Amino acid sequence: MTATAPPYFSYQDKVLLMRHQVPDLLDMAKRRGANSAQLLSGTRLFEPDCQKPQYRIDAAAWLKLVGNCQQLPSPELPFLTASALLQNPYLALCQLINTSDNLRQALAQLLYFRQQLVPFLYVQLQSGHHSTRIELRPGIGLGSQQQFIAKIWLSLMLQLIRQQLGSTAGTVIYLRCPASKTAAADQTLWQTEVRYQQTFNGIEIANHLWRQPFLRPNAEAFQNARRICRQQQRLLPKRPGVLEFAGKALLRALPQLLSPEQLAETMALSPSALKRLLAQHHTSYSQLLDEVRNQLAVSLLTQHELSNKQLAERLGYSDEHNFRRAFKRWTGLIPSLFRV
């Protein structure tokens, strides 16, 4: 067992091609009064780097850039960045989803090639009778930048829906953060219902929208864009981030609870190395296990008719009381009210 984390669990291993977001974010921020030196401070990047097609930016530099952009008094910046990405003729992935037949095909491509646009997040789908939720989870520790990054992705999805289906009716945005001074801007820009203080960042989409034909599908352009995306995919690492890897390991084990020592072993780490690694990613073993149980509980309640006793057993709780208490802490509701 190794004493330190494998290199693929580092911030430096998670990279984004420079042309996938960076120029658009910089351009939008500069239009709001920032200068390049201010925006690139601490990123180890220089402005000429941003125009190099194959140049890569690692997660640490990307988070620093996002943090610098968050200092601007511009709550509309994630929305405007998403709009610029969606209309960028040089981004093959955005051309791919724009020329898809329908939303289902567009999302399938976006998820398959997600390393090209959202390599620091991973997605979980929750299907219900009337709608499907797309939940965004951090693959690595994103700190205070998590909301900004999630808003870019959510804005891109909403604008794609509005552009191709004509309306965002049938969608709901979920945000982990509380409603703040940006809430009015969120509502105006997104033009759909926004729910704050949720257990995840994500979007809910009515099931009837998934197969509704897009206004501008283009089979030839779709195939050309997919070919380019496949070529670009070879340039990027595809290994999961540390939080995604550890979270999925804990989820697979439920209702059995992996101990910190067992989790460390599955990740080829010593227990002390795992503790240090999770701390670097702004979490701990207990927080990660709590988050995984939270996710599974909401999923099970959404999709199945299970008693509290069955839910407690499925999540590895010793009794119903401990489960109900945890669920109230996660959602603010007891399970019976959440089901309504």
Q: What is the residue extent of each domain of the chain? A: 73-233, 242-339
Q: Is the pLDDT of residue 240 over 90?
A: no
Is the C-alpha dihedral spanning 181, 184, 189, 195 positive or negative?
A: positive
Distance CA 212, CA 57 (A): 36
Q: Which residues contact 41 (CB under 8 A, 6 or more apart)?
A: 64, 68
146-165 and 77-87 helices cross at what angle (nearest 10)? 50
pLDDT, average across residues 207-219: 95
- Contact at 8 Å (CB) between 314 and 281? no
Confidence tier at 288 by pLDDT (50, 70, 90): very high
Q: Is the pLDDT of residue 8 over 90?
A: no
Q: Is the pLDDT of residue 128 over 70?
A: yes
For domain 242-339, give the CATH number.
Answer: 1.10.10.60
Distance CA 184, CA 162 (A): 19
Considering the chain, what is the average pLDDT of its residues?
91
Confidence (pLDDT) at 72: 93
Tokens of 54: 């194959």
Give the predicted TM-score (pTM) of the model.
0.90
pLDDT, average across residues 266-280: 93
185 vs 163: which has the higher pLDDT: 163
Confidence (pLDDT) at 119: 86
pLDDT, average across residues 225-249: 91
Confidence tier at 7 by pLDDT (50, 70, 90): low
Question: 75-84, 223-232, 234-243: which has the minimum mean pLDDT?
Answer: 234-243
265 vs 236: which has the higher pLDDT: 265
pLDDT, average across residues 157-163: 96
Q: Is the pLDDT of residue 164 over 90?
A: yes
Q: Is the pLDDT of residue 1 over 60?
A: no
pLDDT, average across residues 173-179: 91
Confidence (pLDDT) at 185: 87
pLDDT single digits (tens) 303-337: 777 899 999 999 999 999 999 999 999 888 888 87
Confidence tier at 339 by pLDDT (50, 70, 90): low
Distance CA 275, CA 272 (A): 5
Highest mean pLDDT among 26-40, 176-190, 229-243: 26-40
Confidence (pLDDT) at 340: 53
Confidence (pLDDT) at 4: 61
Confidence (pLDDT) at 49: 82
Confidence tier at 87 by pLDDT (50, 70, 90): very high
Percent of the chain's residues with pLDDT above 70: 97
Q: How far is CA 244 from CA 114, 223, 260, 288, in A?
A: 14, 30, 16, 10
pLDDT, average across residues 131-160: 94
Q: Is the pLDDT of residue 196 over 50?
A: yes
Confidence (pLDDT) at 51: 76
Confidence (pLDDT) at 2: 47
pLDDT, average across residues 41-54: 84
Task: Give the H or E element holding residue 145.
Answer: none
